[in-house]
Structure 1
């Protein structure tokens, strides 16, 4: 089984993916980490040194590479991955099950405020600007996210509740 978790930054894709992979005895792959290892640079360094166009091209290539592998896995995508380079079509035509990890604007903003320093995209926003940015960005990306095979709302649920719901959804 191949499982793909997609959604906005701070929706919990990596946290959920790591836990789900343990429960299902499957490998966990974080696409951004995979790209960083392959390119021997952080995502920020890739953006700085080679630009977003280069990043989106290799992101598409590595996504296909992972999806074409024979192994079972839980794959956590970057927040923008489904929105570029026909990646959503690649995902939907693969054998993988895609799940949109959905969280409200309020939930996303409160999580992002706690981890702003680790998120270069939002590090310089004040609280109000961050809420506006997330709302606008989420609106633009929702078209892609909503195409996933499943949508799982995570608001007001702890990690174990989310994992239980995912396991039910996948069986």
Structure 2
């Protein structure tokens, strides 16, 4: 079974994905890392030199290829992946695939992301907590309908990683 983790940046997709993959003895793939490896440049550079349309096209192609060739993988999507190119439909149509939306509140995401802004190009120019709250709020408003198409929604607010992992595992039995 393929396991797809989706949600906003900072929701814990990569962290949970690695732990889940270890527990299941599945390979773990972070789609953003995979794209950077295949394109041989950071996503920020792809956006800068080739633009978002190019990136979203490649993101869709790589997602499609991974879903087509994988039978047992834990795949963490980029925060925007579900929102473009009918990617959620593509995921839903895959046999033996379960998608999980790791749902975090705006407040929780601000707490998690405020000190990571330098590592995340899209957030690097945001200076205040108030501006970050507004930015995340707008993004979540645009993306939540896509995220809610996941097979399972897991609330990750103020919850331990072990509890979240247990919740995911309980849906796989």
Q: Separation in 1 of the partners of 2:25 and 2:159?
A: 23
Matches within 5 A, 1:1-171: 1-95=1-95, 96-125=97-126, 126-171=128-173
Q: Distance in 1 between matches of 2:121 and 2:21?
A: 27
For the aligned residues, what is the CA RMSD?
0.8
Number of matched pairs = 171
Is this contact kept in 1: 2:2–2:70, CA < 8 A? no
Residues in 2 aligned to 1:71 and 1:94: alpha-carbon distance in whole angstroms: 10
Give the Cα–Cα distance (whole angstroms) in 1 for the partners of residues 3 and 171 of structure 2.
11
Deviation at 1:71, TM superposition (A): 3.5
Task: Give the CA deviation at 1:2.
Answer: 0.2
> Structure 1 runs of 4+ off > 6 angstroms?
none
Structure 1: give runs of 5+ residues left out of the alignment. none
- Distance in 2 of aligned mates of 1:93 and 1:9: 24
Name the CA distance, whole Å, in 1 between partners of 2:136 and 2:154: 19
- Aligned-pair CA distance for 1:136: 1.0
1:23-82 CA deviation, whole Å, 9 max, x = no partner?
A: 010000000000010010111111111100000000000000000014410000000000
TM-score relative to the length of structure 2: 0.97
Post-superposition offset of 1:169: 1.5
